[in-house]
């Protein structure tokens, strides 16, 4: 084993960008990199630890003894320690032993930039270099048409560890197994995208992946990094986009993680009022520190660049935006203008989105943001945060609250349904029924539906049909697509055995058909974020709990008429106003027998009458099944 050799991947310009918070490709410089120098093979290491007085690389190759492989600190006051160590090869495990200038603290840390980590509960980093050969060039060349704001965007949210288990071995499926089973299932269900709950390495299973320690490494629970690339590649081969949950909001205090990295608050904000999250008992990034911004934005770019990811759903944006988030009076400090907004975090998010869309204009960033903070999904040049979409949490809350009511009471609460249209076009909204809605005693989605079994499933079909015809894109958490009755449990597989029952298989069939309806009708996606794509027909029939609206594409002929009945009483000869003459043709009915509905439908074309009704020149009389959505087209 040779000694550490002075060597660097950093140029002076790299250091300038890093210190300015503008180096967005740090993964090419920091961490461990296999290389050959003067004919000698080994590994180059680089780590940021400005308060260290010494940094040793320790591992099996030196019996975890510090001092044998001491890195050199750069002369330029960047705080970067680096060096080339001969003979360290791919697969060797290591950590950094850091002696701090601050109170002589000693820490032993995993590499924040490691490309692979040991399988938890082990915590060391692994020297790694991927050898995967991508086969998705056709997808990448055509990705824009799948990811634009006027394309269908229907997302299946998945927790890889609990989607399906290998029953015989009582374990989660591997990346390789998922590349076969999960990909084919998402394709069968006709979703356009899959969203994976965090796959970056995390130490604690009950965190579901939202407390990260290995930001640049897919979790080793399911296999090697190149096997995760295979999973992404297989999705792309099936024309399915891949979105990753990404967590730049907080990180755990685990000893091997980012906290007190060099004995000081390096990555976290030193002021506990800004640097500690009371809800999650975790540390909050210091968004005002330039090197931390370089780290975070580089990490986002890494997944888009190295793993061909098609979008990032940014977790817990509200907690980043507001200094008083989950804090009582006296536990937070206002910004320089006396407000509650975290100005440094806002600047970070704008720079993040500017860099992502400049480098990858055909991807999407999606904000999980639960407040009324304005212009989250508007461009930064207009003063927005620059995200592509924002979760419509208000729609989710109001709609689930409405559906939980017995139908006899719904006539008093119709505004809970219609209120979303007063702000539906202020952002580019995604309608989420996510994992957060089926945990912690909230019950499953089907479990919230009132009535007997028939009414519960009819309500669920109605909810999904209303969701897919409402303006915006859609997201559905795994299990909800076949009406899983139990709350989600990350330790157990979904209850796939339920599909042997007609009610549950009927829900699966309607999700397939709703995805097909969405993808095949431009009226549901071409103008999904603009007021031009929506028009009320009737939102005032509280007594019957019926609403009707038009969804519009860029061509008038593509328009769809949507009518929803939120009671178990069928409505016959129900008159609706229409924009033009012709005939109504039923193209979708959530009460169809194939979904285990009652089968009440409009089997024949309905003539549109020249009759003033609901402020329109034309009208038609239709049949609306109980607890159902019916979709029509106007045929000339």
| Pair (516, 565) in one structural domain | no
User: Tens digits of per-residue pLDDT, 301-351?
Assistant: 999 999 999 999 999 999 999 999 999 998 999 999 999 999 999 999 999
Is the pLDDT confidence value at 83 over 80?
A: yes
Contact 313, 368 (CB under 8 A): yes
| Pair (285, 223) in one structural domain | yes
Contact 8, 45 (CB under 8 A): no
Average pLDDT in the 164-181 region?
Answer: 95
| Pair (332, 425) in one structural domain | yes
Domain boundary among 502, 524, 546: 524
Backbone angles phi, psi at 395, to 5 degrees: -60, -45
Backbone angles phi, psi at 535, to 5 degrees: -150, 130
3-state secondary structure 109-148: ECCCCCCEECCCCCCCEECCCCCCCCCCHHHHHHHHHHHC
Backbone angles phi, psi at 567, to 5 degrees: -125, 160
| Pair (63, 170) in one structural domain | no
| Pair (449, 566) in one structural domain | no
Check 92, 254, 368, 427 and give the catalytic one: 368
132 inside domain? no
3 inside domain? no
Domain housing 360: 153-524
255 inside domain? yes
| Pair (389, 504) in one structural domain | yes
Radius of gyration in angstroms for the set of CA atoms belonging to the chain, rounded to a whole number: 27
99 inside domain? yes
User: Tens digits of per-residue pLDDT, 283-301?
Assistant: 999 999 999 999 999 999 9
143 inside domain? no
Domain boundary among 495, 524, 553: 524
Enter the DSSP assignment of 421.
G
Partnered with residue 72 across adjacent β-strands are 82
| Pair (625, 518) in one structural domain | no
Q: Cα separation of 153 and 518, whole Å?
A: 9
Q: Cα separation of 208 and 434, whole Å?
A: 13
- Domain containing residue 44: CATH number: 2.60.40.10
Check 315, 344, 437, 481 and give the catalytic one: 315
Q: Cα separation of 360 and 434, whole Å?
A: 26
The two three-digit tokens of residue 322, written as one number: 């507001």
Give the pLDDT score at 1: 46
| Pair (469, 583) in one structural domain | no
Contact 114, 125 (CB under 8 A): yes
Contact 589, 625 (CB under 8 A): yes
Domain boundary among 524, 540, 565: 524
Is the pLDDT confidence value at 104 over 90?
A: no
Pairing between strand 609-613 and 616-624?
A: antiparallel
140 inside domain? no
- What is each CA distance from 476 to 59, 473, 590, in whole angstroms? 43, 11, 18
Is the pLDDT confidence value at 4 over 80?
A: no
User: Tens digits of per-residue pLDDT, 433-470?
Assistant: 999 999 999 999 999 999 999 999 999 999 999 999 99
- Domain containing residue 477: CATH number: 3.20.20.80
DSSP annotation string for 531-553: GGGEEEEEEEETTTTEEEEEE--
Enter the DSSP assignment of 522.
G
Q: Cα separation of 72 and 376, whole Å?
A: 43
Across all residues in the chain, what is the average pLDDT?
Answer: 96
Cβ-proximal residues to 374 (8 Å cutoff; 6+ apart), any chain: 426
Look at the chain and count its residues: 636
| Pair (479, 608) in one structural domain | no
Q: How confident is the model at residue 36 (pLDDT cuts 50, 70, 90)?
A: very high
User: Tens digits of per-residue pLDDT, 206-256?
Assistant: 999 999 999 999 999 999 999 999 999 999 999 999 999 999 999 999 999
Q: Cα separation of 619 and 46, whole Å?
A: 72
The count of structural domains within the chain is 3
191 inside domain? yes
| Pair (361, 510) in one structural domain | yes
- Domain containing residue 550: CATH number: 2.60.40.1180
Share of the chain above pLDDT 70, in %: 100
Is the pLDDT confidence value at 159 over 50?
A: yes
Burial category of 168 from C-beta neighbours within 10 Å (exposed 0-12, middle 13-18, buried 19 and up): exposed
Enter the DSSP assignment of 490.
T
| Pair (116, 247) in one structural domain | no
The two three-digit tokens of residue 28, written as one number: 């090419």
Report the candidate in 106, 102, 105 with the shortest Cα–Cα distance to residue 51.
102
User: Tens digits of per-residue pLDDT, 511-560?
Assistant: 999 999 999 999 999 999 999 999 999 999 999 999 999 999 999 999 99
The two three-digit tokens of residue 384, written as one number: 């927005």
208 inside domain? yes
Enter the DSSP assignment of 268.
B
Share of the chain above pLDDT 90, in %: 96
- Residue 398 among the catalytic residues: no
Give the pLDDT score at 184: 98
Is the pLDDT confidence value at 414 over 60?
A: yes
- Residue 315 among the catalytic residues: yes
Q: Cα separation of 249 and 432, whole Å?
A: 20
Give the pLDDT score at 2: 53
User: Tens digits of per-residue pLDDT, 562-611?
Assistant: 999 999 999 999 999 999 999 999 999 999 999 999 999 999 999 999 99
Give the pLDDT score at 170: 87
| Pair (482, 552) in one structural domain | no
């Amino acid at each position: 084993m040779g000694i550490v050799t002075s060597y660097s991947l950093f140029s002076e310009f790299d250091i300038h960008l890093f210190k300015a918070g503008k180096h967005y490709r740090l993964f090419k410089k920091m961490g461990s990199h296999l290389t050959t120098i003067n004919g000698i093979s080994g590994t180059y290491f680089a780590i940021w630890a400005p308060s260290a007085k010494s940094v040793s690389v320790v591992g099996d190759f030196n019996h975890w003894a510090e001092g044998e492989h001491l890195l050199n600190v750069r002369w330029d006051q960047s705080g970067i320690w680096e060096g080339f160590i001969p003979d360290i090869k791919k697969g060797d495990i290591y950590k950094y032993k850091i002696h701090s200038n601050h109170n002589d603290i000693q820490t032993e840390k995993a590499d924040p930039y490691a490309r692979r980590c040991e399988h938890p509960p082990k915590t060391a980093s692994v020297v790694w270099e991927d050898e995967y050969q991508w086969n998705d060039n056709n997808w990448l060349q055509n990705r824009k048409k799948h990811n634009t704001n006027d394309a269908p965007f229907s997302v299946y949210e998945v927790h890889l560890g609990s989607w399906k288990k290998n029953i015989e071995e009582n374990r989660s499926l591997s990346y390789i197994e998922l590349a076969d089973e999960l990909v084919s299932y998402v394709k069968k269900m006709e979703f356009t995208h899959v969203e994976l709950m965090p796959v970056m390495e995390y130490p604690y299973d009950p965190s579901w992946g939202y407390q990260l320690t290995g930001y640049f490494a897919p979790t080793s629970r399911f296999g090697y990094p190149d096997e995760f690339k295979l999973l992404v590649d297989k999705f792309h081969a099936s024309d399915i986009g891949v979105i990753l949950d990404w967590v730049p909001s907080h990180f755990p205090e685990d000893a091997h993680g980012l906290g007190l990295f060099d004995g000081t608050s390096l990555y976290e904000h030193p002021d506990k009022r800004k640097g500690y999250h009371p809800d999650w008992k975790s540390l909050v990034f210091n968004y005002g520190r330039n090197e931390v911004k370089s780290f975070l934005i580089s990490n986002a770019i890494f997944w888009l660049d190295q793993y061909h990811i098609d979008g990032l759903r940014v977790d817990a944006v509200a907690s980043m935006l507001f200094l008083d988030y989950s804090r009582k009076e006296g536990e937070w400090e206002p910004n320089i203008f006396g407000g509650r907004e975290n100005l440094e975090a806002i600047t970070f998010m704008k720079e993040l989105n500017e860099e992502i869309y400049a480098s990858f204009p055909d991807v999407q960033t999606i904000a999980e943001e639960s407040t009324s903070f304005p212009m989250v999904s508007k461009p930064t040049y207009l003063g927005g945060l620059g995200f592509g979409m924002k979760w419509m949490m208000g729609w989710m809350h109001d709609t689930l609250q409405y559906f939980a009511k017995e139908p006899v009471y719904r006539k008093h609460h119709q505004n809970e349904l219609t209120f979303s249209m007063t702000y539906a076009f202020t952002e580019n909204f995604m309608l989420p029924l996510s994992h957060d809605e089926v945990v912690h005693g909230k019950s499953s989605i089907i479990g919230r539906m009132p009535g007997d079994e028939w009414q519960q499933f009819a309500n669920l079909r109605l909810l999904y049909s209303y969701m897919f015809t409402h303006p915006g894109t859609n997201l559905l958490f795994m299990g909800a697509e076949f009406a899983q009755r139990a709350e989600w449990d990350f330790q157990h597989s979904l209850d796939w055995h339920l599909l042997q029952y007609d009610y549950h298989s009927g829900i699966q069939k309607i999700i397939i058909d709703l995805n097909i309806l969405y993808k095949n009708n431009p009226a549901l996606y071409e103008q999904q974020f603009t007021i031009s794509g929506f028009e009320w027909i009737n939102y005032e029939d509280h007594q019957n709990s019926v609403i009707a609206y038009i969804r519009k594409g860029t061509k008038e002929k593509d328009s769809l008429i949507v009518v929803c009945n939120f009671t178990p009483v069928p409505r016959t000869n129900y008159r609706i106003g229409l924009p033009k003459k012709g005939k109504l043709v039923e193209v979708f009915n959530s009460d169809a027998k194939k979904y285990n509905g009652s089968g009440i439908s409009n089997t024949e074309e309905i003539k549109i009458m020249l009759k003033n009704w609901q402020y329109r020149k034309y009208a038609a009389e239709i049949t609306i099944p109980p607890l159902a959505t019916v979709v029509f087209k106007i045929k000339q």
